[in-house]
Structure 1
Amino acid sequence: MRNILETVTQEIKTVLAHVNETEAIELSELLVQAKNIFVFGEGRSGLMGKAFAMRLMHGGFSVYVVGETTTPSIQKDDLLVVISGSGSSAMITSLVETIKKKEAVLALVTTNREAKVSKDCQNVLHVPAATKYRKSNEPDTIQPLGNQFDQSVHLLLDSIIIYTLEKASDSMSFEEMKNKHTNME
């Protein structure tokens, strides 16, 4: 068991070491500039997106998860952050068309820098991790399916939020963030 834990930890450390810091900082800047932030991901990427949205909310951002019944329409100067290993699902392609019409900003967190929608993105944050597709350019992993991508995205987006909050002059205190945490559990 210890060997597996150490291997998984090293895999994630290696992936995160190869993330382009400039791309991560650019996403942080887009978060700060956005009037509202919308987050989208399908399947397990969607779960990572919901975790990201929750942490943004705790940090005082106006944030919504695409597909929830209380999510408003996206408008100019809003930001959509799409999390997708492949970056190429039909739903993503459809969302990009909406984004372009509304003049909103698009960021893509993906393993696939060459995804068709990347040309429409103001930010592409490349996460060089393995996906369920096991393409030749993806790293080796002992983990099943897209676990390596999911875990890397979770830690990377958490780090971007911490960085963003540290840079903000009006950053929320721990107590203020704690007060935004749900009290209905």
Structure 2
Amino acid sequence: MNTLKKTLAEMQAEIRDCLDAVSDQAVEQAVEDILSAGKIVLAAAGRSGAALRAGAIRLRHLGLDAYFIGETSTPPLGPGDLLIVGSGSGRTQSVLAQAVKAQQAGTRLLLFTIHPASPLAESADTVVVIPASSPKAEGPAQAKTSIQPMASLFEQCLFLLM
């Protein structure tokens, strides 16, 4: 097997193993949260933001009232609405500030993260833990390794789950 195919096979195995470890119950709750929401706004920074921006488009294609935060067409959130956040660390400051503001307006919070014991996870209504490796990992997640750089595994799994 050539080097590229071997590397791709390893990456596929990492993604499969990571997604297999995601709680079915948490994903089912996330789906329920999404389907029962009025407006849906997705928020994340960096490459996680790219994954959730694509997720917002997918949700709109499914007929849901979904937006990515910061766009000129993004409406304000309130009771009955949902903010979906992606943060591997669970402590991204810009996203944390957006979550606090949304929750003050009565919005529910759905979080995708590596860290179930983080500031965002503590305030979220639903948490989907993606047990990926990351340089920011703490606790048991710190022991995980990946052939991929930085938090690529988290971002790929986030993209697939959305």
TM-score with structure 1 length normalisation?
0.81
Q: Which residue does the alignment assign to 2:158?
A: 153
Partner Cα distance (1:100, 1:133) in 2? 26
Matches within 5 A, 1:5-154: 5-135=8-138, 137-138=140-141, 139-154=144-159
1:34-67, Cα deviation, whole Å (9 max, x unpaired)? 0010000100000000111011010000001101
Structure possessing the higher radius of gyration over alpha carbons: 1
The secondary structure found in structure 1 opposite 2:116 is coil
**How far did residue 136 of structure 1 move?**
5.3
**Residue segments in structure 1 that go unaligned for 5+ positions in a row:** 158-185
Runs of 4+ in 1 over 3 A off after TM superposition: none
Paired letter, 1:80: L
Are residues 4 and 136 of structure 1, via their aligned partners in 2, closer, same or farther at CA, if it must alter by over 3 Å? farther
Give deviations 1:109-157, integer Å, cap 9, x for gaps. Answer: 0001111122221100000001242545232110011111111111122
User: Matches of 1:81 and 1:40 in 2, distance apart?
Assistant: 6
Alpha-carbon spacing, 1:64–1:17, altered in 2? closer, same or farther (3 Å) = same
Task: Provide the rounded CA distance (Å) in 2 between the counterparts of 1:72 and 1:81.
Answer: 14
Shift of 1:75: 1.2
Which stretch of structure 1 is more off in the superposition, 102-111 or 132-141?
132-141
Which residue identity does 1:100 align to in structure 2? Q
Shift of 1:69: 1.6
Q: The residue matched to 1:54 in structure 2 has which SS?
A: helix
How far, CA to CA, are the matches of 1:7 and 1:135 in structure 2?
23
TM-score, normalised by the number of residues in structure 2: 0.92
Q: Is the 8 A contact 2:40 2:82 kept in 1?
A: yes
**Unmatched 5+ stretches in structure 2:** none
